[in-house]
Structure 1
Amino acid sequence: MTNEQWGLRVPAKKGEEVRQALLRDGALDLTFKVLHDGEFLVFPVQEAREGTSRYVFEDQPGRISLPRHELVGGIAIMQDNDPKGAEAILASRPSLHTVLFPQSEVSGKYRTRDYMVLAGNDTTLTEVNEYGHRYKIDLANAYFSSRLSTERQRIAEKTRNNENVLDMFTGVGPFAITLAPHAAFIVAVDLNPKAVLMLIENIRKNKATNILPLLADACRLRSTLPWKFDRIIMNLPLAGTDFLTDAFRLIRHGGMIHFYSLVSREGEHIDRIYELGATEVTERIVRSYSPGQWHAVYDIEV
């Protein structure tokens, strides 16, 4: 049988890289076969995202449709409280040890959420392997999203080896550690003590020698740090606008700010960003977040 579904068309030479990223996101629709289109592959995905179009796919024979979930290392995070579906997910991948259901939204000054274990081991601790980097993560004590893995690679490709970088809300360090081989020096900051402890361990795991971990409130950085930065990462989607002024005071002339935010309309923060002194702004939708809300990134030239 064939069905029409959203598909993401990519060059075949990048196929495995994209497939792994889609699997981490829980976005790859495993009930359909991948399309081969000349020198391109078309991956069936669960929902519309940047770069997708509608394609006709063939069914994957014998494949059981699994509930929607996101993979974070050996943990699957489900969208619904579905113990039976959790058992099916756990049985589908030998690498999984736990299936969780979030009982709250990401909230509080430490950006954490509560989880219920639906299947597997009673833990929120796991290790993530992402593009050759390894991260220890305790999801109950620090925020982490595998869905930003391609974003981290995109920023890394833009980073030059003479740049000083500030990661204002680093968490366990995925942006900082991904950029470390490309940058001269990185200051990785977070307010969450447990996240910073995991950051320090992850710096050691990945042998990153040019990252300075810092336990601090981002609003105090402009009076604390003696440097201006060539590139600033602002991944605080729920409250990042509160720190835009600080970022503009910490960026050097000609630098770049990557500001991530949840938005409900196109161009939601554009006027505010230009008011602060941007010379050029590009807005991109990274992924859908909830009905009527999207996770967007603003690439800001200053």
Structure 2
Amino acid sequence: MEPKLYRPPPEVRGMTSLDKEAFTQTITVPALRVPTGVLNKVVKSLRKATIQRPGVPRVVQDKEQSNDFRLVLLDPRRVSSPSSFSEAEAESLRSFGVSEELHYYELQLTYDNLKSEEVLEAVLPPDLDVTSAFSRVGHIAHMNLRDHQLPYKNLIGQVIMDKNPGVTCVVNKTNIIDSTYRNFRMEVLAGEEDMVAKVKENGVTYEFDFSRVYWNPRLSTEHQRVVQLVKRGDTVFDVFAGVGPFAIPAARLGANVLANDLNPESYRWLQHNCKLNKVESKVRVFNLDGRAFIRGPLKQELPALLKGTSGVHMVMNLPALALDFLDAFRGLLHQEPPCDENLPTVHCYGFSKDDNPDTDVVGRASRSLGFPLENRCSVHFVRNVAPNKDMLCVRFTLPKEVLFGKPTEEPAPKRQKCEETKNAT
């Protein structure tokens, strides 16, 4: 039968305040009358033909209210006549003594039986894009609604919360990430205004106020990729640490970590998460500008580490700005080590809108360092954050020519303003 049987009534078009009762409708679906003694076997053999709707039972009482029979409801898109059954299905029915004669059942579909996309497609104007996509951060669903969806924002929020168990708060980002501290301005569309989320990523638990720190659930694979390069006994300098998605897993693997973030809220939750995961003895936490961290604690620790044999990693995950901070390494130290074997490995992130993003980020990193990195680094594609905008990670050994070269003049502190587009989360 036509797909319109699965669409809510047309009267809901343009609704801005959710009226669940308005979605109720009755449709007619085909059914088989099955003896209760073989009911489970029949349902199993017809699993591809039975109706599959949220909250809709596949087996109901037959019209005659007989205890000896039940009706098995079928998908009207799959079965329209007895000839619709496959040869295997028809053979199963015969073996169980079930007639292929179709009965018809009046089925009431309600709001609860519809998927979120179906509700939103019914409500929003037909010529506009429909989205039910969101990022899940603990109990929070984080959406990036477009302008044409804003008149329906509270309805959309309520639908997302209704249709996703465990979601008790739906928020919408109201602007780009434009603050010094990389946190979104957001408004609550539905549910309770509780922004303290608890999430688990790669076996590690984090807690934080999502409205006041930066967290992106789409980066879990990247966090894991970099942490797996760290060995027990290594030292990790996390220049823009956030709430700890690089620092804490590295510490759990046995690394010594110095983690820094300018945002006082990130600093506070980073400390909290270190205690939560019992790695506070392995992580030293700082609340400094990234450049001050490099020219302060990192500079103090590095000379002794270069004389050792354990690896040294520097993670710089502030893709809107991190490449610009590489010049802080110019002339950072004065006395060269006896060999080049233990120079630090840098993992620096950047955005690129260039047609050749790999070449672009390597060139920008080279200019910032004052040293050519071509053929001396690798570039890892992380993700596409917006149309024609990629996030990449440049990995390289910090050249001794940079580390022990002539220091640059101390630049004015740069405001860490992250300019991402609305689709960049």
Same fold (TM over 0.5): yes
* Moved segments of 4+, more than 6 Å: 248-252
Can you list the C-alpha shifts for 1:219-277, whole angstroms capped at 9, x where unaligned? 11243221127101111111112211225667985322111112112121212334534
Q: What is the 5 A alignment of 1:20-169? A: 62=53, 64=115, 65=117, 67-80=132-145, 81=150, 82-169=153-240
Which residue number corresponds to residue 256 of structure 1?
345
Q: Which runs of no fewer than 5 residues in structure 1 stay unpaired?
A: 1-59
Secondary structure of 1:177's counterpart equals helix
8 Å contact kept, 2:323–2:365: no
Which residue number corresponds to residue 376 of structure 2?
280
- Identify the match of residue 327 of structure 2 among 223, 229, 245: 245
Assess, with a 3 A threshold, how the Cα gap between structure 1 residues 282 and 270 changes in structure 2: closer, same or farther: same
TM-score by length of 2: 0.53
Instruction: Report the more deviating stretch, 209-218 or 281-290.
Output: 281-290
Instruction: Report the more deviating stretch, 125-134 or 197-206.
Output: 125-134
Secondary structure of 2:344's counterpart equals strand
- Identify the match of residue 231 of structure 1 among 292, 306, 313: 313
- Identify the match of residue 295 of structure 1 among 367, 379, 391: 391
Q: Which runs of no fewer than 5 residues in structure 2 stay unpaired?
A: 1-50, 55-114, 118-130, 306-311, 334-339, 399-425
Instruction: Report the more deviating stretch, 276-285 or 253-262.
Output: 276-285
8 Å contact kept, 2:258–2:285: yes
**In structure 2, what is the Cα distance between the partners aligned to 1:287 and 1:177?**
22
Within the alignment, does 1:212 sit opposite 2:301 as a pair?
A: no
8 Å contact kept, 1:227–1:250: no
Q: Which has the higher strand share?
A: 1
Larger radius of gyration, structure 1 or 2? 2
AA aligned opposite 1:295: M
RMSD, aligned α-carbons: 2.3
**In structure 2, what is the Cα distance between the partners aligned to 1:86 and 1:99?**
6
8 Å contact kept, 1:185–1:211: yes
Identity of aligned residues (%): 26
**In structure 2, what is the Cα distance between the partners aligned to 1:202 and 1:85?**
33
**In structure 1, what is the Cα distance between the partners aligned to 2:332 and 2:259?**
14
Per the TM alignment, residue 84 of structure 1 is displaced from its structure 2 partner at its CA by 2.5
Q: Which has the higher helix share?
A: 2
Which residue number corresponds to residue 37 of structure 1?
none
- Identify the match of residue 200 of structure 1 among 271, 279, 283: 271
**In structure 2, what is the Cα distance between the partners aligned to 1:215 and 1:128?**
23
8 Å contact kept, 1:164–1:183: no
**In structure 2, what is the Cα distance between the partners aligned to 1:79 and 1:221?**
33
Which residue number corresponds to residue 33 of structure 1?
none
Per the TM alignment, residue 114 of structure 1 is displaced from its structure 2 partner at its CA by 0.5
Assess, with a 3 A threshold, how the Cα gap between structure 1 residues 256 and 250 changes in structure 2: closer, same or farther: farther
Secondary structure of 1:68's counterpart equals coil
Per the TM alignment, residue 103 of structure 1 is displaced from its structure 2 partner at its CA by 0.6
AA aligned opposite 1:241: L
**In structure 1, what is the Cα distance between the partners aligned to 2:332 and 2:217?**
28
Per the TM alignment, residue 61 of structure 1 is displaced from its structure 2 partner at its CA by 5.2
Assess, with a 3 A threshold, how the Cα gap between structure 1 residues 62 and 298 changes in structure 2: closer, same or farther: farther
Aligned length: 243
Within the alignment, does 1:268 sit opposite 2:360 as a pair?
A: yes
**In structure 2, what is the Cα distance between the partners aligned to 1:146 and 1:238?**
18
Per the TM alignment, residue 88 of structure 1 is displaced from its structure 2 partner at its CA by 2.2
Per the TM alignment, residue 150 of structure 1 is displaced from its structure 2 partner at its CA by 0.6
Instruction: Report the more deviating stretch, 257-266 or 271-280.
Output: 271-280
AA aligned opposite 2:207: K
TM-score by length of 1: 0.74
**In structure 1, what is the Cα distance between the partners aligned to 2:259 and 2:235?**
11
